[in-house]
Structure 1
């Protein structure tokens, strides 16, 4: 069976889930695919190009709003919610996409070069928010802030946990408020949503 570029990217993402970004090598990928290095480089000219393609594949679901494949459906979807609702929905899709792959946030933060489809989705998002009262500059700043927030949040979620034991936590005698926050922590989902809401309500207040 002939090897295709999509096969290479899919295999690389599966390998990423198994070994992590640090141990992802083109040699391991060629062994997994059962091909010579030359066959791999026919589809991706370098490891950097491979990582870029992987990152673009990871974030693709975040830039696809369900039910907006046609222009008419897209218009209906755009009218169904406010710019804040659309922004928050995008942020949740992006977080799910990054969490869906081991080291997903590290991969995307270091290697994403938006492709044509992603850029078109960004342009559509800016148009939607502009139609709802934001200037293109306000929409772009919000989009950048939200994307950076999501990637940073997931980077923390996916980082290695501190070793358990006496040195793993703060001394309650020195950090009582920090210890209280850790004890009452609502969990990553609620914390993520709360931070995201701060961003959208902050812009809403500024607009008002």
Structure 2
């Protein structure tokens, strides 16, 4: 008598596998093309299996943003600086670098909320550094939030032109823009300041941000 073997069961799927697959696919599909169906296909499961872990796409984005943050903090490994100025600059630079590693990375991060409390330790350290430097808690929150929002907004616009480093969307030719705006010479010349040299312009924006915080709150 031949005993039939029971079919092998697929490995149990967990949230971390779904999030990792979503982040892998993001560079291929972009945010608009990233669906639970495409993720399920990547994982070789049926789409309903994912709904055990994420009720909708927003919950998935929350999980993706949380994992992006976790990876960013792991990569920075404590190199956050000893002064509030250094902490703000390093944090904003690290966030920009992390977001640029994914197509539509800034869009994924924007408007999401972290799952759990993976951000609490770094946030606490940062707020302690700022308050020790003379900021009130409210001022520390405003200063750090402004840096965060500046970076998110900047990278959103940057990725609208360059979805990934070295890749450029059609319609953002600076010379062609200048030709079209020839009757508006200052606006035409501004194209190079808006749509090129993103690294340098981001750094200049950070310098303006730090100077503004120093002037507003007059801290050391």
Same fold (TM over 0.5): yes
TM-score, with length taken from structure 2: 0.79
Report if the CA contact (8 A) 1:162-1:168 is conserved: no
Q: CA RMSD in A?
A: 2.6
Match of 1:73 in 2: none
Instruction: Output the CA distance in 2 between the equivalents of 1:159 and 1:188.
Output: 12
Match of 1:91 in 2: 92
Note the C-alpha offset of 1:166. 10
Match of 1:190 in 2: 200
Specify whether residues 165 and 40 from structure 1 end up closer, same or farther in structure 2 by C-alpha distance, changes over 3 A only: closer
1:179 aligns with 2:205: no
Question: Where does the alignment leave 5 or more consecutive residues of structure 1 unmatched?
Answer: 69-76
Question: Where does the alignment leave 5 or more consecutive residues of structure 2 unmatched?
Answer: 1-10, 162-168
Note the C-alpha offset of 1:119. 2.8
TM alignment of 1:129-140, pairs within 5 A: 129-140=130-141
Report if the CA contact (8 A) 2:99-2:106 is conserved: yes
Note the C-alpha offset of 1:114. 5.7
Instruction: Output the CA distance in 2 between the equivalents of 1:33 and 1:184.
Output: 43
TM-score, with length taken from structure 1: 0.83
- Number of equivalent positions: 199
Instruction: Output the CA distance in 1 between the equivalents of 2:198 and 2:96.
Output: 11
Specify whether residues 114 and 187 from structure 1 end up closer, same or farther in structure 2 by C-alpha distance, changes over 3 A only: farther
Note the C-alpha offset of 1:31. 1.1
Bigger-Rg structure (1/2) = 2
Note the C-alpha offset of 1:109. 0.9
SS at match of 1:30: helix
Cα distance per residue 1:3-37 (max 9 Å; x no partner): 23211110011111111111111111111111123
